[in-house]
């Protein structure tokens, strides 16, 4: 487990400047916060933040603790969040999911049973969100999750939807994912020969994606080349690459963690396999692994589950997506990644629900969460009867610009409100 106090102590000097603009605006807009730090704080809300700090999904956790401090320091420094007749201090604790189901289960168990947190927030694929969601249901702890496709969070191993009473989720849904993928493939400049290869591993994302995409691609008249589900961390992709080459595959689609993506692309390049287009999700959403991949990552397509092109604004910090990304990049000296916005929204959803509940009473807080209807930097979040809310999707492509890869939104037919920032290019002619 990582605690906010440990990391904050190490970065105290840098923290003073990085919060000055955004945190200052947070205090200025008020929105239910008390005006002075000397006001009595009548409660403390302890928030567990479960996300991959280490392991194969580490790029989904790079924004910690910057975003946590941004969302809590200004509120606590102003005396706390106004909740009912009193105020609440917001304390967060970070727990490392290690990017695995077992790691996230261990982290959530420690947070709930040992540290007895009031609320749990988890983000970063089913490996980090699903076990904490189930544990929050078992122990009746309010939980807000994100950054996992709705279906991969909602459906159990038996293929039936789970019933959630304590957990609330927001992210894109697979029908929108399918619409984006099919739309992007049809929009490939010059088209393709209809032969489409699969890179779907034997993990929750890969299993769900393969089951849903396969019939849709066949319905579109394309011929799948499916090597089957493979284990995450596969060291040798040569058999798969040779199968693609034999079947003249011109489009490859899949969902890969960053290490597998880098390994596959290096081996494909060495084997001389360059399809007209790659459409790869998961690992392509993050700048650091794309930087490590380098030239092989240029012009890869993926769904765009968040970028500064998205509409929306934080009620509790006053920033839009462009301002949030710019502030993070200025301070960290690295490119933003989408979890930055989803964590920002998780905190806003919690703050909004606390204020409408009027206390941190569990029943009141759960009722307020069910009634959420809030604009955030990832769009409007409004939970349905199954406790999830669908967020927009665009189509992204990594373009080289000034010596580095920049994520551009090149497709917006499904959600036109997500601005198109560039035109689509082929991966290889």
Strand 195-199 to strand 223-225: parallel, antiparallel, or no bridges (unpaired)?
A: parallel
Interatomic CA distance for residues 265 and 258, integer angstroms: 11
Residue 310: strand, helix, or coil:
coil
User: Residue 169 and residue 144: Cα distance in Å, rounded?
Assistant: 6
> Which of 11-20, 287-296, 339-348, 397-406 is least confident?
11-20
Q: Report the pLDDT value the prediction gives residue 130, as an integer from 0 to 100.
A: 97
Statement: residue 73 has pLDDT above 60:
yes
| Res 35: pLDDT | 41
pLDDT in tens, 276-331: 999 999 888 888 888 888 889 999 999 999 999 899 999 999 999 999 999 999 99
Residue 39's pLDDT is what? 43
| Angle of the 339-357 helix axis to the 362-370 helix axis, nearest 10 | 120
3-state SS track over 207-267: HHHHHHHHHHHHHCCCEEECCCCECCCCCCCHHHHHHHHHCCCCEEEEEECHHHHHHHHHH
Q: What is the mean pLDDT of residues 197-215?
A: 91
User: Mean per-residue pLDDT for 80-92?
Assistant: 96
**Residue 88 near residue 43 (C-beta atoms within 8 A):** yes
Grade residue 429 by pLDDT with cuts at 50, 70 and 90.
Answer: low
Give the residue with greater pLDDT, 134 vs 124.
134
**Can you tell me whether residue 13 is helix, strand or coil?**
helix
* pLDDT of the residue at 194: 97
For strand 251-256 and strand 277-282, is the pairing parallel, antiparallel, or unpaired? parallel
- One-character DSSP codes across 136-153: HHHHT--EEEESS-HHHH
pLDDT at position 12 is 38
For residue 28, pLDDT over 60 is answered with no
pLDDT given for residue 2 in this prediction: 33
For the cut 90, the answer to whether the pLDDT of residue 257 exceeds it is no
Average pLDDT, the chain: 89
Residue 59: count other Cβ atoms within 10 Å of its Cβ. 22
Q: What are the structural domains, with CATH classification, of the chain?
A: 2-172+308-390 (3.40.50.2300), 175-304+393-411 (3.40.50.2300)
* CA–CA distance, 115 with 113 (Å, rounded to integer): 6
- Give me the half-sphere count of Cα atoms (radius 13 Å) on the Cβ side of residue 45: 31
- Which value, in Å, is the radius of gyration of the alpha carbons in the chain? 21
370 has pLDDT over 70: yes
What pLDDT was estimated at residue 22?
Answer: 54
Confidence check: pLDDT of 33 > 70: no
Strand bridging mode 86-96 / 81-83: antiparallel
Average pLDDT over residues 339-354: 97
Q: Report residue 57's pLDDT band, with 50, 70 and 90 as the boundaries.
A: confident
- The pLDDT assigned to 390 comes to 98
CA distances for 175 relative to 168, 182, 278, 342, 363, angstroms: 20, 11, 20, 20, 33
Condensed to tens digits (0 to 9), the pLDDT of residues 163-204 reads: 999 999 999 998 998 999 999 999 999 999 999 999 999 987
Element (H, E) at 198: strand 195-199
* CA–CA gap between residue 380 and residue 390 (Å, rounded): 9
- Could you give the residue ranges of the DSSP H alpha helices within 273-424? 287-293, 321-332, 339-357, 362-370
Within 8 A by CB and 6+ apart from 358, the residues are 83, 84, 364
Judge contact between 42 and 113, C-beta under 8 A: no
SS (H, E, C) 18-78: HCCCHHHHHHHHCCCECCCCCCCCCEEEEEEEEECCCCCCHHHHCCCCHHHHHHHHHHHHC
Residue 334 CB neighbour total at 10 angstroms? 13
At CA 59, angle to CA 58 and CA 60, rounded to 5? 90
Question: Does residue 349 surpass a pLDDT of 90?
Answer: yes
Structure token pair of residue 411? 């497709």
pLDDT digits (tens, 9 = 90+) for 221-253: 999 999 999 999 999 999 999 999 999 999 999
pLDDT band at residue 40 using 50, 70 and 90 as cut-offs: very low
Question: In whole angstroms, what separates CA 152 from the centre of its chain?
Answer: 13
What is the pLDDT, as a whole number, of residue 16?
Answer: 37
Report pLDDT for 356.
98
- Could you give the angle at which helices 321-332 and 339-357 cross, rounded to 10 degrees? 120
């Amino acid at each position: 487990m990582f605690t906010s106090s440990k990391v904050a102590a190490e970065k105290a000097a840098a923290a003073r400047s990085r919060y000055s603009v955004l945190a200052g605006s947070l205090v200025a807009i008020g929105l239910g916060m008390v005006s002075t730090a000397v006001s009595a704080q009548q409660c403390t809300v302890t928030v567990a933040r479960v996300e991959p700090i280490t392991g194969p999904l580490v790029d989904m956790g790079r924004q910690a603790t910057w975003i946590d401090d941004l969302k809590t320091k200004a509120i606590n420094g102003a005396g706390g969040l106004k909740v009912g007749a009193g105020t609440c201090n917001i304390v967060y604790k970070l727990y490392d999911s290690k990017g695995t189901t077992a790691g996230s289960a261990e982290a959530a168990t420690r947070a709930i049973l040992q540290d007895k947190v009031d609320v749990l927030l988890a983000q970063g694929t089913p490996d980090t969100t699903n076990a904490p969601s189930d544990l929050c249901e078992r122990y009746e702890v309010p939980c807000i999750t994100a950054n996992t496709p709705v279906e991969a969070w909602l459906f159990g191993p038996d293929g039936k939807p789970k019933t959630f009473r304590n957990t609330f989720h927001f992210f894109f849904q697979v029908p929108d994912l399918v619409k984006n993928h099919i739309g992007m493939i049809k929009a490939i400049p010059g088209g393709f020969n209809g032969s489409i290869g699969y890179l779907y591993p034997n993990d929750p994302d890969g299993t769900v994606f393969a089951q849903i995409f396969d019939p849709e691609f066949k319905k579109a008249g394309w011929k799948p080349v499916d090597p089957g589900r493979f284990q995450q961390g596969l060291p040798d992709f040569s058999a798969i690459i040779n199968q693609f080459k034999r079947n003249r595959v011109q489009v490859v689609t899949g969902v890969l963690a960053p290490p597998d993506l880098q390994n596959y692309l290096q081996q494909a390049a060495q084997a001389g396999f360059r399809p007209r287009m790659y459409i790869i999700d998961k690992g392509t959403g993050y700048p650091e692994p794309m930087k490590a991949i380098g030239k092989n990552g240029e012009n890869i397509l993926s769904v765009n589950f968040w970028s500064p092109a998205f509409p929306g604004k934080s009620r509790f910090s006053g920033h839009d997506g462009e301002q949030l990304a710019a502030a993070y990049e200025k301070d960290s000296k690295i490119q933003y990644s989408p979890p930055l916005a989803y964590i920002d929204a998780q905190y806003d959803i919690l703050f909004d629900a606390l204020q409408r509940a009027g206390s941190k009473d569990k029943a009141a807080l759960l009722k307020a969460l069910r009634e959420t209807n809030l604009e955030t930097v990832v769009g409007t979040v409004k939970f349905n009867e199954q406790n999830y809310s669908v967020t927009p999707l665009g189509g992204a492509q990594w373009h080289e610009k000034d010596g580095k890869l920049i994520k551009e939104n090149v497709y917006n037919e499904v959600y036109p409100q997500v601005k198109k920032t560039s035109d689509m290019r082929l991966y290889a002619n």
